Amino acid sequence: MIAQKIIHVSLILISILLGILDANAQLRIERKIIIDNGQYYFFTVDDETQLATLYTGGLDEKLIKAKKYPMPIGRELNDVFNPLSFDINDGKLIGINWILNSMNSRYEAIKKINIKDWLKPHPEWTIEDWAQVSFDQPILAPNEPWERMIEENNVLENCFFDIMQIEAKVMAICNQGKLRIWHSAGGKWVEKSTAIPVDFTSYFSLASVKSGTICLVDAQGNVYKVNDAQTAITKVKTSVNPKPQILIVDNDHFKTYTIAAETIEAATMDNLKGIIKLATEITF
């Protein structure tokens, strides 16, 4: 009897341990963590299905305790890595559904999703159902930035993009060293200026600071400020940690941080408040 109990307790401990390890192994956060209305949100993307899973929880809760919800959005598993492009504001998700699928239109890829609508399970849906549902999500606006880019040059090289929502929706897209920044107004995309020369060879993320200034943060955490006229970018901060970085975007306090992805992966037993202490705020 005692032996059975010992075995039982051991199995529970092993399960917990495996659960933690598994969570650590799986937790490859896409691009950024967003804090919005006292909750945090981030995504992972499955290596086979391309579909995203939303992780969310309270700021005092351990990351490992995050609630997980499949979301009708995802990204391709391309050799050229561009993480899921998304933003969350007031429970509204905007994102670029870049799942590679013969039925997914790149022109209709910019989606708007009400997160609350997707917090109930759909156990009857297959992976393919989820994919199809993602293609059918309503669009925020046609993907004119993509369309205009390939009209100008349809040969993609160092092509990366991201989207965010500050006062307006902003999309940045670059190809072959030309960066274009678009603003969405009334469902239409408007470009403030002509292309800005850049030399990105890996992905970047859009961010903003308190003043509303737009900046780009590259995969290594280097920060580039976009001038008000959006005619030039200037490197304003060189990363001290060249390892892949994640952004923490605190909508509640208008702050943005960078933190090494591996630091978060090692800190899943901590809560986000603790993790932020390990991060570096973007200021300039």
Partner 1 sequence: MKYCALLLLCFCSTFCTVTAQDFEYNFQATEVKFSGAGSISIRHDSLATIYSTAHWRNTGLREPAGWSSGSTMMATANFEFKCAKAPDSITIRGLGNDTINLPAQTVKLNPATGVFTCTYPLVYASKKFPLGVVNYYAPFNIYWEISFDKGLSWYRSDTTDHKVYVTKSNPMTETTNFKYFHTVLELSCKNAIGQTTDTGIISKCWSEFTDQIVLNHKGDSLHYYKNYITSNTVLPLLLKYRTAQCYTFAQLFAALIKVQGISKTNNYVFITPKAVASPCGGTINRFLVKNWKFLAKSDSLGCPSFPYKNVGTTLTTSGYTYTSADVIDQTGIDGSCNKNPSSFFNNHQITKYDGVYYDACYGVKFNALTDIKTAAFDGWGVQLSPGTWNFTNDMSKADLAETITTW
| DSSP bridge pairs for 181 | 172
1 binds partner 1 (CB under 8 A): no
Q: How far is the CB of 173 from partner 1 (least distance, A)?
A: 13
104 binds partner 1 (CB under 8 A): yes
Nearest alpha-carbon partner for 115 in 29, 31, 56, 186: 56
Q: How far is the CB of 102 from partner 1 (least distance, A)?
A: 4
Q: How far is the CB of 164 from partner 1 (least distance, A)?
A: 24
> What spatial distance separates the first Cα and last Cα of the chain, rounded to whole Å?
65
Please give the distance of CA 28 from its chain centroid, rounded to a whole number. Answer: 11
Among 9, 150, 168, 190, binds partner 1 (CB under 8 A): 150
Q: Which CB sits closer to partner 1, 131 or 233?
A: 131
Binding segment for partner 1 (CB under 8 A), chosen from 11-19, 151-159, 203-211, 269-277, is 151-159
Q: How far is the CB of 151 from partner 1 (least distance, A)?
A: 8
Q: Which CB sits closer to partner 1, 14 or 150?
A: 150
Among 127, 168, 190, 269, binds partner 1 (CB under 8 A): 127
Task: State which of positions 221-250 bind partner 1 (CB under 8 A).
Answer: none
Nearest alpha-carbon partner for 24 in 272, 274, 266, 277: 266
Binding segment for partner 1 (CB under 8 A), chosen from 153-161, 184-192, 261-269, 274-282, is 153-161
Phi then psi for residue 262, to 5 deg, are: -70, -25
Distance of alpha carbon 13 from alpha carbon 67, whole angstroms: 21
142 binds partner 1 (CB under 8 A): yes
Q: How far is the CB of 130 from partner 1 (least distance, A)?
A: 9
User: How are beta strands 92-96 and 67-74 bridged, if at all?
Assistant: unpaired
Binding segment for partner 1 (CB under 8 A), chosen from 28-36, 43-51, 204-212, 215-223, is 43-51
Q: How far is the CB of 183 from partner 1 (least distance, A)?
A: 20
Cα distances (Å, whole numbers) of residue 95 to 145, 219, 241: 14, 19, 28
Q: How far is the CB of 76 from partner 1 (least distance, A)?
A: 7
Distance of alpha carbon 269 from alpha carbon 271, whole angstroms: 7
Nearest alpha-carbon partner for 163 in 151, 174, 171: 171
152 binds partner 1 (CB under 8 A): no
101 binds partner 1 (CB under 8 A): yes
Q: Which CB sits closer to partner 1, 157 or 252?
A: 157
Nearest alpha-carbon partner for 161 in 14, 71, 31: 31
Distance of alpha carbon 233 from alpha carbon 197, whole angstroms: 8
Q: Taking the C-alpha atoms of 258, 69, 74 and 166 in order, what is their torsion angle to the nearest 10 degrees? A: -50
Binding segment for partner 1 (CB under 8 A), chosen from 20-28, 44-52, 87-95, 223-231, is 44-52
Are 59 and 35 in contact by the 8 Å Cβ rule? The answer is yes
Q: Which residues bind partner 1 (CB under 8 A)?
A: 48-50, 76-81, 99-108, 126-128, 131-132, 136, 142, 147, 150, 154-157, 159
